[in-house]
Chain A
């Protein structure tokens, strides 16, 4: 058990991340009971965490803002951003002034901002580029090395990636991998830089039980190829890693990201199960109950159905018409969870 002195403010933050031990959780409960304002901040924190999830159309929005912001920076002679640089600097600087001064200053700011917006609106709201520009990973990968095996093709992943928006098929990845076998470093680097290459690398690390390395690899994939099908799947895989590492809060965030961006995805069932297990570990039983119920209603024949019904019984919610199984000792975090490895 960790022995670390922590201020109440940090207890609130680390609770959101799922990084508190049992003793610290008890300490947090005592603190929340004593401080109504902190209870409010605690609840609001969870609300803000839910706003941090991605949405299905984010890729298009991100592409637009990145294109316009890039052009603002690289073409100063024809700046088309919503603000001129000096005005923008003034906006940020004025934001640091106290309320008494900011009221008068902000009024001035509104007038300038409104005038600038009216002048710039037509320039800002340009149609999206006809072709989505590829987000190349300019960063060199710092992923740990993995055995140089041929690229594997896991069935759930193939289902996700074959519906992709580019040539990201397992067959394509395999041909790249076989070409790599006699290549020099630059070609191997290009493979790693692709979404498929990064995803494959991360999977190998996960199968090798190098979970910390795998976590970093999945996050790198999400950072550099956030809109790819591989990145979408990585949310579920990373969530499971985080559950194993005892980080249920972070795990729930990953499962929620997948479900928000892929409500009909082939791993939705797994994501719901993972989310429910994470919520259980966090003690958020009301939410856990809702997720189990959602899983059963959407996937009545799920491999997780038995666990879901058992857990709902424990939570005091009668499950559906199927006969109740005999009570077990209690499900572990990984009970009934097939290993995608």
Chain B
């Protein structure tokens, strides 16, 4: 039986997960139906909304979650657990795609600038797109623990405490990983004229 998570209110997915662990096909389907929307969102956030592999990677993540549930012992909430599996699956898919791209021309969806809805001017949109591409390249190149930490923090919007619970590591470890990832990002961006303009703007 899974103990409740140490953080936050009761996990709404816990009852569904328990039922699914029994192996009952109907319960498995209900569990997957409850997960699928949030898994889909995570996959889109990592791969990009228009990536052609969104559907396949979402399915891959759901299968992976079902497999992983057999070993889940309630160390974190079910929500954090499934989000982490979905994130890792999508990050792996990104890495596979990036490696394939080295051998093939960039596809149309990759060339199309990502829609950046939160910018008010075209200049801001271009700026954010450049930072986005730098950040995504960083996710592909960082050591896996740092990539996971910065992805949970920036992509999924996890606090340090939530990241620690999801990854089952101490909060100080999370802080160290985030600091290392940000240092790498800073070095990467420092070469960009964009960041230099930002630095001049705030100094």
Contacts and interface: CB of A to CB of B under 8 A. Distances in A.
B25 interface: yes
Contact of A138 (B19, B59, B63): B19
A9 B41 CA distance: 22
Contacts of A70: 25, 28-29, 32
Nearest to B99: A110
Given A13-B157, A65-B59, A33 B30 contact: no
A47 B116 contact: yes
A239 B28 CA distance: 31
A6 B198 CA distance: 25
A123 to B, nearest CB: 11
A328 to B, nearest CB: 26
B178 interface: yes
A158 interface: no
Contacts of B66: 69, 72-73
B126 interface: no
B85 A92 contact: yes
Contacts of A12: 153
A188 interface: no
A48 B44 CA distance: 9
Contact of A110 (B60, B100, B182): B100
A102 B95 contact: yes
A52 interface: yes
Interface residues of A, number: 79
Nearest to B59: A65
B72 interface: no
Contacts of A38: 182
Interface in A201-229: 219-220, 223-224, 226
Nearest to B29: A70
B189 interface: yes
Given A61-B55, A226-B37, A82 B28 contact: no
Given A36-B195, A40-B131, A69 B96 contact: no
Nearest to B183: A37
Nearest to A68: B59
A36 B189 CA distance: 10
A58 B37 contact: yes
Interface stretch (A93-101, A240-248, A304-312): A93-101
A300 B29 CA distance: 45
A73 B182 contact: no
A107 B95 CA distance: 10
B178 A9 contact: yes
A39 B62 contact: no
Contacts of A136: 26, 30
B185 A48 contact: no
Interface string A136-149: 11111000000000
Contacts of B117: 47, 50
Interface stretch (A83-91, A164-172, A265-273, A333-341): A83-91
A52 B44 contact: yes
B5 interface: no
Contacts of B154: 41, 44-45, 48
B132 interface: yes
B160 A7 contact: yes
A109 interface: yes
Contact of A37 (B33, B34, B85, B185): B185
Contacts of B95: 95, 102, 106
B180 interface: no
Contacts of B128: 43-44, 47
A322 interface: no
Interface string A1-42: 000000101101110110000000000000001101111110
Contact of A107 (B99, B118, B141, B144): B99
B40 A48 contact: no
A220 B131 CA distance: 36
A287 B48 CA distance: 22
A68 B88 CA distance: 20
A37 B186 contact: yes
B56 A82 contact: yes
A88 B60 contact: yes
12 contacts: A40-B135, A41-B135, A41-B185, A44-B128, A47-B118, A55-B49, A69-B59, A73-B28, A85-B67, A99-B143, A109-B92, A139-B16
Interface of B: 12, 15-16, 19, 25-34, 36-37, 40-42, 44-45, 48-49, 55-56, 58-60, 62-64, 66-68, 85, 88-89, 91-92, 95-96, 99-100, 114-118, 120, 128, 131-132, 135, 141-145, 153-161, 175, 178, 182, 185-186, 189, 195, 198-199, 202
- Give 3 closest A-B pairs by Cβ, nearest first: A286-B120, A138-B30, A69-B62
